[in-house]
Amino acid sequence: MDINTYKPRKKIDNKHLLTLMDYSASEICEILKLAQELKHRLKKGKPHRYLKDKTIAMIFAKSSTRTRVSFEQGIRQLGAHPIFLSSNDIQLGRGEPVADTVRTLERYNIDGIMIRTFKQSDLHELATHGTIPIINGLTDDYHPCQALADLLTVFEHFGKLEGIKMVYFGDGNNVAHSLMIAGAKLGMEVVICCPKGFEPQPEITAATQNFGNVTVTDDIALAAKDAHVLYTDVFFSMGQENDTEKRNALMPYQVNDAVMDKANANAIFMHCLPAKRGEEVTAEVIDGPRSVVFEQAENRLHAQKAVMALLLR
């Protein structure tokens, strides 16, 4: 689907955002178009209190700078009230069933839940037993809000998504999964370049290949050739042990000047942050003129506001 010719409907059919697997190309375009509009309104100082007086709970089993601040700011800018709940504040999965948590929060007039946690199954249980929208702020399997912000960033830079080649280097993790899903559905060429043994989950790869052009390879030169976007993430996600064997396997897939030189002349560098300079990326690349990592970080705010506005309005 060509995002440039898509005509927004101001609504989507999904009730939750658990994974972008459940979303059509048109629904992803709907989110991106609204994110653009909300970004414009914020820059112009135009009010957009679409969720006035609603209350959204933010549940964090995993801590995060960008997820917490972008969601909390976004909720306030939409006119709603955020409630922060860390794993120390609630009993989710520790004695109290997940189903009881969502049923209780609903009784306190909570209008929606954003959750950043480990198990994808927790989100599905919240969605199954509750009646309010559930938004995936990150799980071990998927990071849909990051992928939406990433596609918004790519679209801003190239004016299109169809035909753009995006290459992800490193561990085939939750970020890689969501990039594969969203990119394939909107006509991008998505390449995951990683050493053997660190590929994305095979069932997710197979599903995304049914949507569009997705390749998994260990050939760095082939992957980077003619790429418009080079993307990487930390070698060790939150909660993972700092393993020497894994680092040694992934170090050849570091994004550096030599890798950037293999890409398209106007290629950009992306990273979901936080970054470890000297490991998955060199300082010269991430702090250089082709890096758009802070535009990415800002676009988390706009993409997530669009998701909340569409699901809760």
Q: Quick one: tokens of 45? A: 């100082």
The residue annotated as part of the active site, out of 16, 68, 143, 302, is: 143
Among 36, 77, 146, 254, the active-site one is: 146
29 catalytic? Reply is no
Which CATH architecture describes the domain 146-297? 3-Layer(aba) Sandwich (3.40)
Indicate if 209 belongs to the active site.
no
* DSSP for residue 200: P
Residue 310's nearest CA partner among 27, 3, 25 is 27
- Calculate the average pLDDT of the chain: 96
The catalytically annotated residue of 68, 177, 300, 302 is: 300
Percent residues over pLDDT 90 in the chain? 92
The residue extents of the domains of the chain are 20-142+299-312, 146-297
pTM: 0.97
Q: Is the peptide bond before 274 cis (omega within 30 degrees of 0)?
A: yes
Does 233 participate in catalysis according to the annotation? yes
Which residue among the candidates 68, 111, 272, 304 is catalytic per the annotation? 272
Over residues 146-194, the pLDDT tens digits come to 999 999 999 999 999 999 999 999 999 999 999 999 999 999 999 999 9
Q: Which of 141, 194, 233, 254 is catalytic?
A: 233
215: which strand partners?
Answer: 191
pLDDT tens for residues 252-293?
999 999 999 999 999 999 999 999 999 999 999 999 999 999
Asked if 116 is an active-site residue, the reply is: yes
> The domain 20-142+299-312: what is its CATH number?
3.40.50.1370
Q: What is the DSSP-derived secondary structure letter of residue 128?
A: H
H or E segment at 56?
Answer: strand 55-60
Q: How far apart are CA 75 and CA 52, in angstroms?
A: 9
Query: What is the end-to-end Cα distance of the chain in Å, rounded?
Result: 25
Identical fold between 20-142+299-312 and 146-297? yes
Segment 199-232, tens digit of pLDDT: 999 999 999 999 999 999 999 999 999 999 999 9
Q: How far apart are CA 92 and CA 70, in angstroms?
A: 23
Read off the pLDDT of residues 95-142 as tens digits, 9 standing for 90 and up.
688 899 999 999 999 999 999 999 999 999 999 999 999 999 999 999
